[in-house]
Structure 1
């Protein structure tokens, strides 16, 4: 499947985008801090790209996207979600499944709190926490490595450590370059915004949403508390909280053999639900 590349200008930043031309429901993929859309290569190089319109983009301050126009506003969760929303609008996407990994998962939840195009949500490495510092403590491990998530300037050693935490020993050589390219102001601003409880209450968004929510984590994720997900009560949870064996923070990269079929199955569930909702409307129109 050929992948098209383009740059889309939003008020927050110029975003570099990759997309496939599959006929199925769009799947918008949002990467984590210090990464780029390249982390989803194993989804684009799979039957998912033939079946669906896969869309992946570099967040502001990452990869081939520009740094934020207004870092203090645009690097908050709300600012990043607004950039994603402008992207959906520009691409003419009015219904989509949004997959978010790590920081991208939190951006995806924020996006789902206000943008009507989100009809399904899949999260990895992104505990939907209540607002503020104590909410974050419930979802994340408190250790020294977590400080890297908010550190503004990275040394080579910091980048190596962060790469290992995110990908174990499976990282592509380009991933280190992406970490070092990232605008470090984002790490500081987005962490402060989450600590201060800015934006939506993510636990409430996930628990109160009316569309399907899928949760897929790696069993060895070093950042998140897996038992936190047992405390969630999303009425539209898909199947169960899945745990991918032999994977850490990035199961979509480390175990695509297990992850990709789950994403495909979730997409089928969302599409079937959409068809069920549309059928009565068609009958009334007839």
Structure 2
């Protein structure tokens, strides 16, 4: 996370699975928790924290265990899975005394958000980006092996770390993203893959097909990692506006690559939740 997010308060939360680094804006309406993707950090949301919207709502970003300034897991098999990460995030929500919480999850963070929804009744809404709600066949939600296998590889060379950063955030990725990839606990990626292969966690397609909680789906129209048609085909029980949004001229990280368009949608969704 570093100190790259302006106008925020930085600190740490002690959880049962280690110390978690957090950054908070000073807004006071909804509590909005941002969860980053595999091998990155909360800093990827700095264009949202810099938006005036963060002065209206209370934005919270965290570094997942094994990432950024958070501790590495003591027990990797317990922590580095969708359920383990969801437990850490829910514990953070509780310790920060967040209420009417909206979860914004990107990529892996979106999977964690859906897992949180399946395990807690305290979530007001979720917004997921670059995240296929996978069912029994995880491969259906992706276009080939994610990042050509880098998403599950323990050790990455400097060149592979650069490639990882560019694949997820595009050519406009800043140096801190590559640094975040290199910092990630080497146990994280392979342990996460093993847990997913074992089927640990909820059937995410079923969760979003049965939950009354509002769900917003926003993707980049040019995302080459996930299967956008699959995401559109899922039967959602409470899909915001009744459709999945695709932001033009953006790929896997529209909040970074097209922040103005993304932030407008985020503002509209949060306004909808605040008024409901």
Asked if TM exceeds 0.5, the reply is yes
Task: Look up the match of 1:280.
Answer: none
Does the CA contact (< 8 Å) of 2:168 and 2:252 recur in 1? Answer: yes
Q: Deviations over 1:151-181 (max 9, x none)?
A: 0111111111111111111111111100000
SS of the residue aligned with 2:240? Answer: strand
Does the CA contact (< 8 Å) of 2:7 and 2:50 recur in 1? Answer: no
Equivalent positions of 1:136-215 (< 5 A) are 136-143=138-145, 145-215=147-217
TM-score, structure 2 length as denominator? 0.95
- 2-structure distance, mates of 1:9, 1:136: 33
Is residue 81 from structure 1 mapped to residue 83 from structure 2 by the alignment? Answer: no
- 1-structure distance, mates of 2:51, 2:198: 40
Task: Look up the match of 2:95.
Answer: 90
- How far did residue 230 of structure 1 move? 2.3
SS of the residue aligned with 2:38? Answer: coil
Match of 1:261 among 249, 261, 264: 264
Gaps of 5+ in 2: 1-5
- 2-structure distance, mates of 1:173, 1:160: 9
Does the CA contact (< 8 Å) of 1:15 and 1:58 recur in 2? Answer: yes
- 2-structure distance, mates of 1:143, 1:86: 32
- 2-structure distance, mates of 1:230, 1:128: 10
- 2-structure distance, mates of 1:202, 1:144: 18
Gaps of 5+ in 1: 274-286
- 1-structure distance, mates of 2:143, 2:197: 15
- 1-structure distance, mates of 2:147, 2:12: 34
Q: How many residues align?
A: 270
Match of 1:59 among 58, 64, 79: 64
Does the CA contact (< 8 Å) of 1:94 and 1:116 recur in 2? Answer: no
Q: Which of the pair has more CA radius of gyration?
A: 1
Is residue 23 from structure 1 mapped to residue 25 from structure 2 by the alignment? Answer: no
Query: Over the residues paired in the alignment, what is the CA RMSD in angstroms?
Result: 1.2
SS of the residue aligned with 2:30? Answer: strand
Task: Look up the match of 1:226.
Answer: 228
- 2-structure distance, mates of 1:13, 1:115: 21
- 4+ residue runs over 6 A deviation: none
* Inter-CA distance 271–75: structure 2 relative to 1 (3 Å threshold): same
